Amino acid sequence: MGSEINRRDAIKRAVAIGVVAVPSASLLSACASSGGGSDKPKSEPTGAKSATNPLGVKKGTPLEAFIFKGGFGDAYVKAAETVYNSEYGIKVKHTGTQGLGPKLQPRFASNTPPDVMDNSGADNLDTAALAKENKLQDLTALLDAPTIDDPSKKVRDVLIAGTVEQGQFGTSAMYAFNYAFTVYGGWYSNKLFQDKGWEYPQTFDQALALGAKAKKENISLFTYPGKYPYYVHFDLLAQIGKVGGKDVLNAIDDLEDGAWQVDAVKQVIGYYEEVAAKKYFMPGSEGMTHIQMQTAWTKGKAAIVADGSWVENEAAPTMPKDFDLAVGALVGSGASDKLPFGTVYAAAGEPYIVAANGKNPVGGMELLRIMISKKETDNFTNTTKSLTCITGASEGLTLTPGLASASKALTAASANVLNSRLQDWYVKLNQETLGNLTLQLLTGKIDAKKWIEGAQKAADATKNDSSVPKFKHV
């Protein structure tokens, strides 16, 4: 071989160099997981507090906003940022995105998060986990600040009931400010119902009777997006609350032992089993995305869909002009229910969070305070066709049919508003585990008994999983 270097030797040497290079390399890249800085909030740059600046924002301090750009877009936030800019003499650094989680996780890990975020969408950050890690600013100061329109009123006083609770994670601190208010229920075309002479059902029996009538006309009673089976839970969970009362629903949220094995659950799940057995769900729903499902629904192939009030905006491209969108309240067993017909499931959504150790947490809260001024809420409702979490904010505005119907349903329900926390406290349990069971129930692969058994088992497993942070109704 002589002076020839054979391949094997060359490789050996290359590996040796690699071994030398590795330790220094891991030093170099160590910053990927061990960020600099301590976990404690940095000293907040605050300015003098005044009547127009109650939170004490320091002029000229930069502010960074990371906004989920989904169904609502992000123009409404930009409008509020313009106000902030002129007030505090800076330009808010704005990012609109659909993937907050992957983008912001490293920034939280290295303690350089943006100041204010709209933490919504499928790829959002785990708000509960962030709250548990003390990464989020307690927004109590914002709640106690006066509103812009009427300084005699605190922010806390103008929020729709339930908004504060929606932002709490097992303690009295409020970490998420849910800006939009969503009314859930059975959405239908008033025109279709009037043309056919149908009435929106109030009881399970009426719904089944309507299903039979609709089937004769080749219309399915219900549809749902199989890709996101938790849409069905918007109705299903709240119906359990309507039949059995708020305590039953809270017990389910609190993962109490045997919470699913009560009569109210049996009635509701039994009803879904019957609807599935009679084939009143639109065939193929189990393989559809929400857009595909909504397209079939706006074409009149299905009568009712469990959805949130965002559907008016989302389905607008395929919705006929004379569709006359309306929402129906929760369907229950009847007179034996704990809550009357007219009970709705409504919750504040679109959670805004402020980073505790950002550069300008006070500024983040101030931006939220600007966003709930009459000017900005009007803008939001007009442009996104959605309600905000501010009481009576939609008064005096010309509402679209769906929004008007939702607003009316909310007023009619008065105190009978249900809110299942399962969907934000235990995302995996609600969406995936229960979602899988629901898909099987709706396609007739399992019966109600199996569903309830599976749900109880899944809830127990979540309860016993030490990696899942637990929450309780306060």
Contact residues toward other proteins (CB under 8 A) are 3, 5, 10, 13-14, 17-18, 21-22, 25-26, 28-30, 32-37, 39, 101-102, 105, 108-111, 123, 126, 128-130, 133, 135, 226-229, 283-289, 292, 295-296, 299, 301, 427-428, 431-432, 435-436, 439-440, 443, 467-469
Structural contact between residues 67 and 118, judged by C-beta atoms closer than 8 angstroms: yes
By CB atoms closer than 10 A (0-12, 13-18, 19+), residue 213 is middle
Nearest approach, Cβ of residue 470 and other proteins (Å) = 11
Nearest residue (CB) to other proteins, 261 versus 289: 289
Nearest residue (CB) to other proteins, 130 versus 303: 130
Nearest residue (CB) to other proteins, 391 versus 443: 443
Nearest approach, Cβ of residue 101 and other proteins (Å) = 5
Nearest residue (CB) to other proteins, 37 versus 258: 37
Which three-class secondary structure state does DSSP give residue 52?
coil
The CA-atom distances, in angstroms, between 37 and each of 53, 323, 363 are 30, 56, 21
Nearest approach, Cβ of residue 438 and other proteins (Å) = 9
407, two tokens: 């607003």
Nearest residue (CB) to other proteins, 379 versus 443: 443
Nearest approach, Cβ of residue 191 and other proteins (Å) = 20
Residues with Cβ within 8 Å of residue 193, at least 6 apart in sequence: 199, 200, 303, 326
Nearest residue (CB) to other proteins, 130 versus 330: 130
Nearest residue (CB) to other proteins, 109 versus 161: 109
251, two tokens: 């017990």
Nearest approach, Cβ of residue 326 and other proteins (Å) = 24
Structural contact between residues 349 and 181, judged by C-beta atoms closer than 8 angstroms: yes
Structural contact between residues 407 and 389, judged by C-beta atoms closer than 8 angstroms: no
Nearest residue (CB) to other proteins, 228 versus 373: 228
Nearest residue (CB) to other proteins, 111 versus 343: 111
> Which residues sit opposite 417 in a β-bridge?
344
Residues with Cβ within 8 Å of residue 433, at least 6 apart in sequence: 454, 458, 462
Nearest approach, Cβ of residue 156 and other proteins (Å) = 28
Nearest approach, Cβ of residue 3 and other proteins (Å) = 5
By CB atoms closer than 10 A (0-12, 13-18, 19+), residue 154 is middle
Q: List the Cα angle 117/123/127 in 5-degree steps.
A: 50
Tokens 């969070």 label which residue?
353
The pairing of strands 176-189 and 344-354 is antiparallel
Nearest approach, Cβ of residue 73 and other proteins (Å) = 20
Q: How far is CA 293 from the centre of its chain?
A: 20
Nearest approach, Cβ of residue 432 and other proteins (Å) = 6
Nearest residue (CB) to other proteins, 52 versus 467: 467
Nearest approach, Cβ of residue 355 and other proteins (Å) = 11
Number of neighbouring beta carbons within 10 Å of residue 67: 26
Buried b (16+ CB within 10 A) or exposed e, 441-460: bbeeebbbeebbebbbebbe
d(CA 35, CA 90): 28
Q: How far is CA 21 from the centre of its chain?
A: 47
